[in-house]
Structure 1
Amino acid sequence: MKGLVCLLLLLETFVFVNGGLNENEISQQLSSEDRRQNPPQTDTLRAEASTDSQQYCHLSFPDIHAALRELTATVTEQKENIRELTASDTEQKANIRELKANIRALETRLRDAEQAAEQQTISLEELKKKTDETSNLTLSQVEELRMENRDREIAFSASLMESGSGYVGPFTTEITLTYRNVFTNIGNAYNPITGVFTAPLRGAYMFRVSVYGIGGTTAAASIVKNGKRVVIAHDYQTQGNLSSSNGVVLLLEVGDFVYVRLWSGTRIYDNENNNNTFSGFLLFPLREDELCRM
């Protein structure tokens, strides 16, 4: 009954707005419709029903539309919130994926660094081991070379007279000079009694000779190797002092002889100034193949 009344009221409003029916016609239609749908009632009941229906319709329909509008707005807002949450969730997932990728890259770099550190540690240990071995080898080689070079330390230097002064020569033939005043004789390769140097090692040797005399007689002497003249020191003038020197590098085999011979018909003079000297020393030893090439 209430629904029918509301419907009729809406129809009345529609007709009134559109200018179709007047109030009397609408009242008549409502009365006849009410008589068809409902049995006769008392005037009081009809009045109450009409009043209640009008109040219900006027109160219910606006409230329903407002509730629907409010509900629609709430649904729209919730959808927007859901979209925002979905977008935020997608962004968070992307951030999480990026963080995971960064973590994997860092883990890879950490593993590489650990492997590099391990390899470096191994390399340092190997280097230390090799250094120790090299150090031990070097010390051994130094000691060996020192012992070997001890036999290769060869040098001598001497002058003619141990004391006093005087002439030597002239003679009718060449003679071997004996330099008795020994300054140095490392290796004892020089013999001051014979005046002969004997090579103890195969190698290159340096020799020097100096002569001194008084003018009027020639002063001349030669460095001789195994009986063969090599170089000479020679000077001559009618008066005054005479002085000359010469030197040579010789390649000697073990046992080769080197000495100084005074020329025949010449003389030299010596005193405490040690003007006449004979010196020699080993420059460096040579292997057999090196000596052959030379």
Structure 2
Amino acid sequence: MKALVCILLLLETFVFVVQQQVDGGLNEKEISQQISSEDGRQNPPQTDTLRAEASTDRQQYCHRCFPDIHAALRKLAATIIEQKENIRELTTTVTEQKENIRELRNDMNKIDEEISNLTLSQVELRKENRDREIAFSAALWESGDGYIGPFTTEITLTYKNVFTNIGNAYNPITGIFTAPLKGAYMFRISAYGHGGTAAGVSIYKNEERVVLAYAYQPQNTLNSSNGVVLILKVGDVVSVRLWPNARIYDSQYNRSTFSGYLLFPLK
């Protein structure tokens, strides 16, 4: 703006000089005085007032040129503070989520362990149940019919026609049942015969006679049965023995039988 004012003043002086020359002119001294005068107008002495005005102009110019810098910096600083707070909150949230994930993993590990233990328990329970599945039933003859006996001494009967043998605790070759686990067992026997000779059998636990089934009459058929609950330890044996001088009869109708099963195990 000051440069434009200076140019305008110089042009005015130039026009004035030209006009004076056209009108009769000025002498050289007058022209010099005029130029000096104009120069003085253009470049007045630099007083304190002028310097103060120039400083004020520069401040105003700076304020006009950069009116929004401070406001923008303040806004930027506020934004940075806000973002730091958001980051701090996000960090806290992430930490909490990590802790939640850690707790969830711990819970899942516990559930997996419980499932594993439950599975093992189920396997053990199935195995235990299989061990408890003990039952058998058999008759004397696999085929045909006929008598067994009489003999002068007791003999162990072998019931060869096996109907059921869950757990394979009964041996049809020896006629002996062997207890696979400690428990309470139920046993039953039946003896069929014809008159004239007694039909008698006994249940033995190991070498001890426990119960018997006995029948005698001179003629017609003979039929007797009995049963007992025994407490057996692992390895105890149960068998059926024919009385001395007695006989029993069997046929396809399976009238003379030996049966047993586990009621419940014992500790």
Is the TM value for this pair above 0.5?
yes
Structure 2 residue aligned with 1:182:
162
Question: Residue 251 of structure 1 aligns to which amino acid in structure 2?
Answer: I
Query: Structure 1 residue 239: deviation in Å?
Result: 1.0
Q: TM-score, normalised by structure 1?
A: 0.51
CA-to-partner distance for each residue in 1:246-283, whole Å, 9 max, x for gaps?
Answer: 00010011111100000001111110000000011111
Q: Tell me, in whole angstroms, the C-alpha distance in 1 between the residues paired with 2:195 and 2:114.
A: 64
Alignment equivalent of 1:157, drawn from 118, 137, 144: 137
Q: Tell me, in whole angstroms, the C-alpha distance in 2 between the residues paired with 1:152 and 1:222.
A: 26
Structure 1 residue aligned with 2:248:
268
Runs of 5+ consecutive residues of structure 1 not aligned to the other structure: 1-127, 288-294
Question: Residue 248 of structure 2 aligns to which amino acid in structure 1?
Answer: I
Alignment equivalent of 1:234, drawn from 214, 220, 233: 214
Q: Does 1:201 align with 2:181?
A: yes
Q: Residues 115-130 of structure 1 correspond to what in structure 2 (within 5 A)?
A: none
Structure 2 residue aligned with 1:223:
203
Structure 2 residue aligned with 1:54:
none
Q: Does 1:284 align with 2:267?
A: no
Structure 1 residue aligned with 2:233:
253
Choose 1 or 2 for highest CA Rg.
1
Structure 2 residue aligned with 1:119:
none
Structure 1 residue aligned with 2:148:
168
Query: Structure 1 residue 150: deviation in Å?
Result: 1.2
Question: Residue 222 of structure 1 aligns to which amino acid in structure 2?
Answer: S
Question: Residue 157 of structure 1 aligns to which amino acid in structure 2?
Answer: S
> How high is the sequence identity, in percent, across the aligned residues?
68
Aligned length: 161
Query: Structure 1 residue 138: deviation in Å?
Result: 5.3
Q: Which has the higher helix share?
A: 1
Q: Tell me, in whole angstroms, the C-alpha distance in 2 between the residues paired with 1:182 and 1:145.
A: 28
CA-to-partner distance for each residue in 1:132-166, whole Å, 9 max, x for gaps?
Answer: 99887655533321122212211111000000010
Alignment equivalent of 1:148, drawn from 117, 122, 128: 128
RMSD over aligned Cα, in angstroms?
A: 2.1
Q: Tell me, in whole angstroms, the C-alpha distance in 2 between the residues paired with 1:276 and 1:211.
A: 5
Runs of 5+ consecutive residues of structure 2 not aligned to the other structure: 1-106
Question: Residue 189 of structure 1 aligns to which amino acid in structure 2?
Answer: A
Q: Tell me, in whole angstroms, the C-alpha distance in 2 between the residues paired with 1:249 and 1:134.
A: 40
Question: Residue 171 of structure 1 aligns to which amino acid in structure 2?
Answer: F
Q: TM-score, normalised by structure 2?
A: 0.56
Q: Residues 5-20 of structure 1 correspond to what in structure 2 (within 5 A)?
A: none
Question: Residue 232 of structure 1 aligns to which amino acid in structure 2?
Answer: L
CA-to-partner distance for each residue in 1:200-253, whole Å, 9 max, x for gaps?
Answer: 101111111000000111100000011110000011111111101100010011
Runs of 4+ in 1 over 2 A off after TM superposition: 128-144
